[in-house]
Structure formats: C-alpha cells, structure tokens
Structure 1
Amino acid sequence: MDYAILTGFVLVTGVVLALVAQWKGWRPSLLAVLVVGIVFRVLIMTTSAMDTWQPVDFVNSFKPAGEAVLNREDPVLGSNGGWHFLPTIPYVYGFLLWLGIPWEIGGRLVTVVADIALIPLVGKLAGGSKASLRAFQYACNPLAILVASVHGQVEPVALVFGVAAFVVARGPGDPDRPGIRTDVVALVRGSVAFRGLPGAVRHATGPTGVVRRALTPRPGDRQSLRRALFAGLLMGLALCAKSWPIWLIPGMLLLLPTFRARVVAFVATGIAPIFFLVTLPIFAGTSLSQIPEVIRVIQDVRPIVGQWTWSAILMGGVNDLNQAIATFGTRLVYVTLLVTAFLWRRADPVDLTTALLVAFMVATPRLGAQYLLWFMPFLVARPTRFAWPAIIGVSFWAAYGYLYMTQFDSATWRSLHVFWSQGSIVLLPILVLAMPWARRVFKAPDAPEEPPSPRPVPASPSLSPP
C-alpha cells in the first residue's frame, strides 16, 4: 500500500477523537458528525483508488460480478465463483461501470455511501442524550474506515439496512426499553409444573389461551404492523447484500411489541431476497435452468480456515482448506450462539444482538477482517466497559494486515501472515470481556420520584350568625 502512513494517521486521529469525545462528553451536531465521517472516508477512498495495491477480492471477485451484469450474464456464475450472494449489489456495480466511473472509485463508492448513511443510524440506535456522541464515535471508527474505504467490502451495505431495521422496529419512544420481557423458559417450566402437561396445552391453546391472546388484534396494531412490515423489508435488503445478517433477525423481531407484528416482519424479511432471486432471468439474463446452480453456489461455503484465533493455531498460521476444522467450527458456532441466546434471553434485543455477533467472532474458525465490523454499530451504540479495548484491538489487528503486510512481496507476506493470524488469539479474551455481561437482564430505568401530594386540610366549620 502506497499511502499506509497517511491512512494510519487518519485511523489514529479517529481513535483519539472518539476517546476525547467520550472523556469530554461531546454532543456534536449531526452536520458536524457527518462532515467528519465524510472527510475521513472520502479521503481514504481517494488514496486507496490511486494506490498501486488493490485487494484481491475487490478486483478478482467484485469487479467481475459487475461486469457480468453489464454483459447480461449471471453475476454469481459469471464471476467464476467470486460472488456468492444475491445479485443486488452487482446490479449497482454494473450501473456504476456503465456510467464510466473507474472501478477503483465506483466499487468503493457503494460501501462508502452506505457507511456514511450508517453514521446517523448508529445515533438513532443509541438514542437518548448520547445519540450524537455515539454517531460521532462511529464516524471516527477506524475499522469502518478500513473496510468501507480501503477494502470496499460490502459489510456496510448489509449493516445500513440491518441497523435501519432495528431502528424502525423499535419505533418512537424511550430507547432504554426492552422488546419482549417474558422469560419463555420459566413460563413453560412453570406452566407444566403447576398444571401438568394437559393443563399446559389447554393453557396455551384454549379459548383464552396464550395463542389466542397473541393472535387477537390490539389497540395500536396498525402502527406496529406497519413498522413490522418496513423493518422486515429492510432486513430482507440486508440479506440481499450478504447472508450473515440472518443473525440480526432475532433482535429485530424481539423489538416489535406483539406476536402478530413479529410474524409480519418475519414474512416480510423474505420478500426482497425472493424477488432478486426469481427476477434473475429478467435483470441478469440468467436462464431458468441455471437458477438451481446459482442457489447451489450461494449456499456453498468454502472451508477456508487458518486466519483467525484457534483455527490459525491448528493450521500453523496457514490460510487453507480444511473440511474437518471447518465442520467442527461450524458446530461450535451453533452451540456457542445457542448458549449465548439463552444467557441473554432477558436482555434488551440490541444487547442480545451484540452478544450473538461477538460470540460468533469468538467461536468461528474462518474470518476475514471485514467480519469484525458486524458487531461494531451495536457495540458503539451501546458500549460496555471493555468496548473500546475491543474496538482498538480488532482495528489494530486489521490495520496491520491492510497497511503493513501489503508493503512486502508474496513470500514475506506469507511469513508475516503466520504471526498475524496466530496473534489474533490475544483478541479472544478482550472480545469476551466486551460482551454486555452486566446487561444480561434488562432493568428499566428508575422512574423519577413524584412529590408527595399534599394532604387535604379539613375545612373549618363556618360560624353563622344566630
């Protein structure tokens, strides 16, 4: 990378500004926040576009997907396996290429615009008096700048729709409130214990049971169902960018107030992905006979491991295919997420989502530096005690790969990769500490005490003249 020193200076400046803002309690205006975020991202996007080094997947995977759309070819099949997702973003790539914008700018323009739009959404997600502070801290986030402006990875596109879905699902009102507050495990256990299994079934399915009450319309349902519809559509667009936002769906559903609203949001989430899949023959020139192959390629996850934490130790720091480690790691991820969901089952849905995404990073055997952006908007919006050690730690690890390792030839890069990938193991305890352990059970803020009402004074008897 030719502009590593300038990029590193911008990243360090962002960290310093974010920490000073926390220390001083800054509350900048939205305009000031956006100016800072735009300047940082556009500056690094410009230098990255002029750089002689370009990310391999940015050139060999993303660009061919956009060119395939221009040539009326399927972007999944036409990119030689480089694009494993729905064609939504390649349509944008193809349009920008059709306008004649150089790929080095156009390919990054998609992610930079999305990441800028994400800045005020992080403030909305935080809510309360510190909303502008959290938006400013995300504007200065070094990992977001690297992923959006240097790598051009599409994580910001998935996140801008995913976070918007959270904001819409929560709706207006106090942000410090939970979605669902029912301890489902305790409810089922108690119902079976006190009523027996037949009684529990009648309690659930009877004329006045839980199911009937859940499906019965309530006052204000129209507004909540409208929010659910829009939230689901937004989450569906997040899934059109990449497949991992599936982990955001539980938190979005729990932010909605009723069971009926959650059903609407869940169904609406599938609308956009299905639309972009079935319209491939219209917009991408995909033949009907090719659609099963497109689905197979999208579902295919190559077992590339050895770049992150425990899998890097087992692989000796070599990034390669290993089906055994990938299979074990996938099972470990599922078990870890189930345990995490149980531990945070009574938490605020935003904290539950943060815990799930961080837990994924702790357990996963395969990871690109861009994955670490998944939890960033949620952790910045609702920081924990160890949030900033985790943010700085993962940003430094990613920056070492983006800025320093790209200075060398392939042989030197491979030797540095061993140290870099195995060194990521030190981030695991920091990530675990950064999870919202103190907020596993939601506690509503204390209501302000009302002054005692004055006691009525009995009226004195009137003295009427005789």
Structure 2
Amino acid sequence: MDYAILTGFVLVTGVVLALVAQWRGWRPSLLVVLAVGIGFRVLIMTTSAIDTWQPVDFVESFKPAGVAILNHQDPVLGSEGGWHFLPTIPYVYGLLLWLGIPWEFGGRLVTVIADIALIPLVGKLAGGQKASLRAFQYACNPLAILVASVHGQVEPVALVFGVAAFVVARGPGDPDRPGIVVDVVTLTRQRVSALGLGGAVRSLLRPGGVVRTALAPDGLVRGALTPGPGDTASMRRAMLAGLLMGLALCAKSWPIWLIPGMLLLLPTFRSRVAAFVATAVPPVFFLVTLPIFAGTSLDQIPEVIRIMGDVRPIVGEWGYSAILVNGDWTLDAGIATFGTRLIYITMLAVAFLWRRADPIDLTTALLLAFMVTTPRLGAQYLLWFMPFLIARPTRFAWPAIIGVSLWAGYGYLYMTQFDTNTWWALHSVWSRCSIVLLPILALAMPWGRRLSKAPAVRPEIIPKVPVVTSAPA
C-alpha cells in the first residue's frame, strides 16, 4: 500500500476525536458529523483507488460480478463463484461500469456511500441526548473507514439496510425498549389458572384439543393475530422494516443474525409475523428475476443456488482456528464443522440469556458472541457489531473497538508493504495474535444489561385469557 502512513494518520485522528468527544461530551450538529465522516472516507477512498495495491477479492471477485451484469450474464457463474450472493450489488457495479467510472473508484463508491448513510442512522439507533455523539463516533470509526474506503467490502451495504430496519421497527418514543416481556411458562400458568387444572387438561386431551384451544375465539393464536389499537401504524412499520431487512440479506447472508432484534422491536405478535414474511420478499424477488435481469437461464438457477449456499471451510485467519493450524490460511472441514456447531449452540445460549434485554443489546451480544466462536473470519466481519456497540456502548466497548481496529489496520496497512512470501510469514503471526482479542470482545458484551429497565408498556404478544368455570365444549 502506497499511502499507508497517510491512511494510518487519518485512522489515529479518528480514534482521538472519538475519545475526546466522549470525554468532553461533544454534541456536534449533523452537518459537522457528516462533514467529518465524508471527509475521512472520500480522502481514503481516493488514495486507495490510485494505489498500486488493490485487495484481491475486490479485483478478482467483485469486479467480475459487475462485468458479468454488464454483459448480461449471471454474476455468480460469471465470476466463477467469486461472488456467491444475490445479484443486488452486482447490478449497481454493472451500472457504474456502464457509466464509465473506473472500477477502483466505482467499486468503492458503493460501500462509501452506504457507510456515510450509516452515520446518521447510528445516531438514530442510539436516540436520546447522545445521538449526535454516537453518530460522530461512528463517523470517526477507523475500522469502518478501512472496510468501506480501502477494501471496498460490502458489509456497509448490509449494515445500512439492517440498521435502518431497526430504526423503523422501533419507531418513535423512548429509545429504550424491553425484550421478551411474557414467556411461554407465564402464559401457560395464566391459562391453567383461568381454566382450572382439570379444565385445561380436559381441553388439551380432546381430539385436536391443542389446535382447537389455540384457534378458539379466545385462543392464543387467533388472539395474537387479531388487530388491536394502533395496529395500522405498527403494521406499516413492520412491513417497511421487513423489506429493509430483506435488502440487507440481499447484500450478504449474515444479517440473518439481526432478524431477532428487529422483530422484538415491533410491538405485537401480528406485526412481527408481517415483518418476518416481508423480510423474504426482496431475496425471493432478486432470485426469481435472475433470468430477466441477469441473463441466467432456468437450468442454471439450481447451480447458482448451490454455489450461493456453499460455504467454503476456510480457517486459520482468526481466533482458535488460527492457533490450531499455526496461522495458515487453509481449508479444514473438521474445524469448520466444529466451529459452525459451536456458533449455533452459543447463539442459542446468548439469545436465552439476553431474551429480556433491549433488542439492540441482544443483537450486540449475538454479534460479539459470533466473533468469539467463529472459526472463519475476514477483517471486514468485525464491522458487523460496530453500529450497535457504538450506539449503546458498554464498559469495554472502546477497548474492543481499538483492539480490532489495530489488528485489522496491521493487516491492511503494514502487511501489504511486503512481497508474497513475507506476507505469509507475517500472516502466521498476525492471525494467531487475534486470540488476544477474544476475551476483550467477550467482555464488551452488554453483561450488565441482560434485563431491560424499560417499562413494558407495549401490547403483549398474547391477549388476556377470560376466566371460565369449565372447559369449553
């Protein structure tokens, strides 16, 4: 990298400004926040575009996907699997190439614009009196600048839609929200108390008793799906939030971890169902329209789906997998399978522990837990949790932010100064050193906020059960 010193100076300046803003309690205007964020990102985008070093995937995977669209070819097949997501972003790549914008600028323009749009959204996500401070701190975030302006990775595109979905789902009012307010055990106790133990047992033991009880006029399912006061407004928010989250999934598949938090921000079970269904609309649309817009033949679609669903077991870049393979970037199905199972178990445990937390804290915990347990990671993955952790920081938020930024910055700025053999030697040490960051990321999880203090004023997901003296006939 030719402009490593200048880029490093900008990144350090950003960290200093963010910490001073925290210390002094700055509340800059949106205009100032955007000016700083745009200035940093455009400067580094420009130097990165004219640099002699370009990221391998940026040139060999992302550009071929855009060229394929330009030639009316499928971006997954046209890039030989280098692009293995839906064609949403390659459509934009193709448009920019068609306009004659050089790839080194055009490819980064997509991510830089998305990351700039994230700046005010982080402020909205934070809410309250410190909204402008949090927006400013994201504007200065060094990892965001590296991922968007240097690497041109598409994480900011997924995040801008995902964070927007959170903001829309939460709607107006107090930014602090409760998590799951009523659980299944409590609901069961309420129904048994209302019907009496004998009546509840008899109603469930009858043929079709469970279904009939749930679908009865006063049953759980029908009551939960019945419109209530203010339902029109919440349904509109739900549909829009779901569509935005669907667009996030069109950029990459990982925003699936954002869906639980988005759904919990909605006030009713009915609105959550609507948002969940709406989330599927954009991915399905971009999949079924491949023959129209991307030139994919019908007999090619199964192969495209197979490639998009194929996750290569690449390990050795991060955490415990780097220790196990001595820092070599390699394929290892055994470690990848173990890591995948560990991720699923950990996510379930975290979801249970933070089920009553603010949905944003739940999401932060899920994303940080993923970073600790994943066997495969690129430096750009570390941006996933940044908007959420900055919007609602924890005690160890800034040690985590600075730690991962230093680790990623070493890879982007220092290791790119050397030839291939030296790079691999440095990579072996760099990847294994990432193990030091795992406890810091674990400490940065919102451990002290597993129970939201926000009042449970929103409608419950299940209606009240009327008191009766006998089981229904």
- TM-score, shorter chain, exceeding 0.5: yes
Aligned pair in 2 of structure 1 residues 206, 116: CA closer, same or farther (>3 Å)? same
Q: Which of 398, 403, 407 is equivalent to 1:388?
A: 398
Query: How far apart, in 2, do the equivalents of 1:198 and 1:104 lie?
Result: 70
1:124-162 Cα distance to aligned partner (Å, 9 max, x none): 000000000000000000000000000000000000000
Query: How far apart, in 2, do the equivalents of 1:286 and 1:243 lie?
Result: 21
> What is residue 236 of structure 1 aligned with on the other side?
246
Q: Which has the larger radius of gyration?
A: 1
Which segment drifts farther, 45-54 or 204-213? Answer: 204-213
1:263 paired with 2:263, answer: no
Aligned pair in 2 of structure 1 residues 430, 189: CA closer, same or farther (>3 Å)? farther
RMSD of the alignment, in Å? 1.8
Runs of at least 4 residues off by over 3 Å: 183-207
TM-score, normalising length from structure 2? 0.92
> What is residue 91 of structure 1 aligned with on the other side?
91
1:404 paired with 2:448, answer: no
Which segment drifts farther, 253-262 or 179-188? Answer: 179-188
Unaligned runs of 5+ in 1: 448-466
1:359 paired with 2:345, answer: no
Which segment drifts farther, 262-271 or 205-214? Answer: 205-214
Query: How far apart, in 2, do the equivalents of 1:365 and 1:343 lie?
Result: 23
> What is residue 156 of structure 1 aligned with on the other side?
156
1:172 paired with 2:172, answer: yes
> What is residue 48 of structure 1 aligned with on the other side?
48
Query: How far apart, in 1, do the equivalents of 2:342 and 2:201 lie?
Result: 33
> What is residue 294 of structure 1 aligned with on the other side?
304
Contact 2:162 2:248 in 1 (8 A): yes
> What is residue 223 of structure 1 aligned with on the other side?
233
What letter is aligned with 1:403?
L
- Quote the offset at 1:184 in angstroms: 3.7
- Quote the offset at 1:294 in angstroms: 0.6
Contact 2:65 2:90 in 1 (8 A): yes
What letter is aligned with 1:279?
T
- Quote the offset at 1:215 in angstroms: 1.3
Contact 1:182 1:346 in 2 (8 A): no
What letter is aligned with 2:172?
P
State how 1:126-205 maps to structure 2 within 5 Å: 126-178=126-178, 180-184=180-184, 186-188=186-188, 195=197, 201=210, 204-205=214-215
> What is residue 22 of structure 1 aligned with on the other side?
22
- Quote the offset at 1:62 in angstroms: 0.1
Query: How far apart, in 1, do the equivalents of 2:440 and 2:213 lie?
Result: 45
Query: How far apart, in 1, do the equivalents of 2:291 and 2:357 lie?
Result: 44
> What is residue 332 of structure 2 aligned with on the other side?
322
What letter is aligned with 1:104?
E
Query: How far apart, in 2, do the equivalents of 1:103 and 1:257 lie?
Result: 44
What letter is aligned with 1:94?
G
Percent identity reads 81
What letter is aligned with 1:402?
Y
Query: How far apart, in 1, do the equivalents of 2:241 and 2:96 lie?
Result: 28
Aligned pair in 2 of structure 1 residues 353, 283: CA closer, same or farther (>3 Å)? same
1:63 paired with 2:73, answer: no
Query: How far apart, in 1, do the equivalents of 2:24 and 2:305 lie?
Result: 51
Query: How far apart, in 2, do the equivalents of 1:149 and 1:109 lie?
Result: 8
Contact 2:317 2:376 in 1 (8 A): yes
TM-score, normalising length from structure 1? 0.93
1:308-334 Cα distance to aligned partner (Å, 9 max, x none): 110000011001000010011000000
- Quote the offset at 1:335 in angstroms: 0.3
Unaligned runs of 5+ in 2: 205-209, 458-473
Query: How far apart, in 2, do the equivalents of 1:444 and 1:121 lie?
Result: 22
Contact 2:178 2:455 in 1 (8 A): no
The number of residues matched between the two structures is 447
> What is residue 80 of structure 2 aligned with on the other side?
80
- Quote the offset at 1:177 in angstroms: 2.2
Q: Which of 225, 247, 260 is equivalent to 2:257?
A: 247
Q: Which of 313, 320, 325 is equivalent to 2:323?
A: 313
